[in-house]
Structure formats: structure tokens, C-alpha cells
Amino acid sequence: MPSSTATSTDSPLRSFVTEAQRSSRSRGPCTAGSPSARTTPAAAVRAPHRSIVRSTSTAGDTREVERRIVSSGSAFEERGGYSRAVVAGSRIFVAGTAPIMPGDADPPPDAYRQARRCLEIVSAALREAGGGLEHVVRTRLLMTDVSYAADVLRAHAEAFAAVRPACTGVVVGLLDPRWLVEIEVDAVLPE
């Protein structure tokens, strides 16, 4: 059926719900049964990774989580309604961090030095939040051109070689045409 026919007001198609779905009765909310056995490779279980999670269940835990904001003092934060970082319990979420220079000076002209500047700002936010680069578990590298990836990853490796967080790189448009890279991180503090 052509798409124009499907969207026409004369179309016999009235809903995406089938007759069988209409006539069935709900049995209430879905509840989890017994947890399924999960097979984890033995090598991963024995590996000395402090980041392996033994259980992902909250088991009905409804305690309030402490939430604290970290500000860089930028006027953009208040105008945009965001924070440089947010601490929620043992987690630190650092917002996308561009290579902002003191006094709004021009950022370095190359992606490597811009990435290093982003990481300096990220590191300062983590320190203020009570953590450091060693607590980072995930990074997101936003670049304006795929050709910058090698330089951005070189700066990333210098900062995180020992930690090796999960990392995603994406090519995007950024708010300031001078910016070639922006970096966002998530960290977990030891409990």
C-alpha cells in the first residue's frame, strides 16, 4: 500500500492495535520471576577489576541519593540551566566540556591541544566533586571532523591509559566554530 494511502483519511487502517490485542485481557503489571542464571566467562570473574558489578538489582532500595552540583562559575551555566558536574551518590557526571580558555581567549588551533584543555577542565571538575581522572568509567568524545580522532584519542590515552574507561567518539557540530572537540565523562567514586 503506498504511504499516501495509509495516511489518507479514507484508509481502512484506523489503528496499529490488532483485533487480538483489543480482545485480550491484561493480567496486571509484569513482575520479575526468579533471576535467570547468567553465564560469565571465568576469566572475567577472576580478573582484578574493581569495576565488576556483582549485582545490578536495587532490591527495593529506595534510599534518597545525595545530589550536589559543581559549577565552573561560567555565566552560561546559569543562563542554560546546567552545571559543570553533578554528584549523585557515588557517581559524578561531568557535562560536555569544550576547550574554554581563560578570559574567553581563542582555544588552541589543533584538536590535540583542545582535547588536552577539555581534559584539564574535566579534571578540575572531578577534583571539586571529590574524584579524579582515575575514577572515570565512561567518556564521550565529540569532534567536528573524523580526521581529528587520532589527535583526540592521543590526548585521551595520555589521561586514561591506566584507567581505560568505556569510550564513544561521535562527529557533531559544536556551538562555537572555534571548538574542534568537546569531552563528557562519567565517574564512580569508591564506596
Helical residues (DSSP H) of 35-84, grouped into ranges: 42-46, 75-80
Given a cut of 80, is residue 55 above it in pLDDT? no
Average pLDDT of the segment spanning 182-186: 98
Q: Residue 147's domain spans which residues? A: 65-188
Residue 58: the pLDDT is 56
Decide: 141 and 106 in contact? Cβ < 8 Å: no
Q: What is the mean pLDDT of residues 158-177?
A: 97
pLDDT at 19 (0 to 100): 54
Residue 144 lies in a domain: yes
Centre a 10 Å sphere on the Cβ of residue 93 and count the other Cβ atoms it contains.
17
Let me know if 137 is exposed, middle or buried by CB neighbors in 10 A (0-12, 13-18, 19+): middle
Across 19-28, 39-48, 55-64, 165-174, which has the greatest mean pLDDT?
165-174
Evaluate whether residue 39 is within a structural domain.
no
Q: What is the pLDDT of residue 46?
A: 36
Residue 93 lies in a domain: yes
pTM: 0.67
Picking from 100, 158, 104, 107, the residue whose alpha carbon sits closest to that of residue 125 is 100
The answer to the question of residue 76 being in a domain is: yes
Q: Is residue 179 part of a domain?
A: yes
Side-chain half-sphere exposure of 109, counting CA atoms within 13 A = 0
The pLDDT, as a whole number, for residue 45 is 35
Is 15's pLDDT higher than 70? Answer: no
Reported as a single tens digit per residue, the pLDDT across 141-155 is: 999 999 999 999 999
Residue 159: inside a domain? yes
- The CATH code of the domain that includes 109 is 3.30.1330.40
Residues in the chain: 191
30 within a domain of the structure (yes/no): no
Judge whether 54 lies within some domain. Answer: no
Structural domain total, the chain: 1
